[in-house]
Amino acid sequence: MKSYQEVYKILAHETDYLSGEKIAEILNLSRTSVWKAIQRLQQEGLEIDSIKNRGYKLLHGDLILPQEIEANSPISVQFKPITKSTQSDAKEAMEAGAKEDTLYLSTGQTMGRGRFQRPYYSPEQGGIYMSLHLKPNLSYLDLPAYTLLTAAAIYKAVKNLCLIDLDIKWVNDLYLNQKKIAGILTEAITSVETGLVTDVIIGVGINFTIADFPKNLQGKAGSLFSQNSPITRNELIAEIWKCFYETEADELLYLYKKQSIVLGKDISFKKDQEIISGKACDISDQGQLQIQLATGEKIWLNSGEVSLTKW
C-alpha cells in the first residue's frame, strides 16, 4: 500500500487532529513524506484540515482502496481513477481473456452510458462507477435476472450498513427521497456456436456524495449521502457484492418486489413510439413487468423493449 493510502487509513479512523509527527512515527515515514501524502489526498478530492501544533483531520471524502474491497468481498478489483467507461474496461478485459468475478472500478467516467445509450452523469468526485464480469455459460431462458438481483443487493447493502430504505423503480433504478441515486446496466454476450450466454457485464453507477448536478438533472437526481457520509465507498462496494454473491436469489427477488415503487401503481410506458397506460401487477423472476390494460388484458413487458414514462 502506498504512503498516501496508509496516511488516509490513519486519518479515516481518527476523530480528532493528529500531528504529522505522530503519523510519521506510526508509519515510519519522514515528516516530508507525510506532508506529500496529505497533498496527494487533497488532490484526490479529500477535505483535510490542518492546524498548527495540532496536526491534520479528515473532514470529508474517502479514498478507494481496492485491497480493502477484495478483503471484504468475493471478487477481484481492477481500479482506474478516471476511465472512459467501466463497461468498456470490462469488455476489453473480457476480450483479452481476463478471469470472471472481476470488478472494474472507477471514481469518474468520461463517457458513461445507461440504458438505450443515454448519457450517465459520472463526475470525478462523489460517485461509484463499477462493472462486474461474470461467465454464466447458460441459455438465455436459464439466465438469472441479474439486474433485479443487483438492485436488491444494493438495497440490502445500504440497509445493512446505514438502515436506509431505498426504493426500486423497474427495472434498473434506485431512488431515495423521490430522486434517482443509482442505475444498473446489464449486458450479455452470446456464443454463436453454442447459443449460450457466455459472459455478462453488470454496470452500476451510484451517486454517493455528489453535491452538484447539471440543471437538467437537478430535479431528478440525488445522492445517497450529503457531504458527511457515515460509511466509506469501500465499505459499500464490498457489501453490495457480498450481498449479491452470498444472498439466496429468492430473498433478493423478494426484496426487489418489496421495495418496488411501481407495483400496484397506474403507469404509462412507451412501446413502438406509442404511449400505453395500465396498472403494474407483478414482476416475474425473469424480470418482466406484468401490466393490466384498461381492457382487462394482462401483458408482460420486457425491460429491453420499453421505458416507463410515468409511475
Give domain limits for the chain: 3-60, 66-259, 265-308
8 Å CB contact between 191 and 216: no
CA 123 to chain CA mean position, Å:
14
End-to-end CA distance of the chain: 47
3-state SS assignment for residue 88: helix
Q: Do domains 3-60 and 265-308 have the same CATH topology?
A: no
Question: Which cell numbers in the block locate residue 155?
Answer: 438495497
- Per the annotation, binding residues for biotin are 109, 113-115, 180
Alpha helices in 163-287 (DSSP H): 233-246, 249-258
Q: Fold for domain 66-259?
A: BirA Bifunctional Protein; domain 2 (3.30.930)
In Å, what is the CA distance from 233 to each residue of 66, 130, 242? 11, 12, 14
**Which run of H or of E encompasses 58?**
strand 55-60
Question: Which cell numbers in the block locate residue 42?
Answer: 487533497
8 Å CB contact between 181 and 209: no
3-state SS assignment for residue 38: helix
Query: Would you give per-residue pLDDT tens digits along the chain (311 residues)?
Result: 899 999 999 999 898 999 999 999 999 999 999 999 999 999 988 999 999 999 999 998 899 999 999 999 999 999 999 999 999 999 999 999 999 999 999 999 998 887 667 778 888 889 999 999 999 999 999 999 999 999 999 999 999 999 999 999 999 999 999 999 999 999 999 999 999 999 999 999 999 999 889 898 888 999 999 877 899 999 999 999 999 999 999 999 999 999 999 999 999 888 778 888 999 999 999 999 999 998 999 999 987 666 677 66
User: What's this model's pTM, rounded to 2 decimal places?
Assistant: 0.92
Please identify, in words, the CATH class of the domain defined by 3-60. mainly alpha
Alpha helices in the chain (DSSP H): 3-12, 20-27, 31-43, 66-71, 86-95, 146-162, 233-246, 249-258
Please report how the helices 20-27 and 3-12 are oriented relative to each other, as an axis angle in degrees rounded to 10: 120
Q: Fold for domain 265-308?
A: SH3 type barrels. (2.30.30)
pLDDT digits (tens, 9 = 90+) for 102-147: 999 999 999 888 766 777 888 888 999 999 999 999 999 999 999 9
- The answer to whether the Cα torsion of 115, 118, 122, 126 is positive or negative is negative
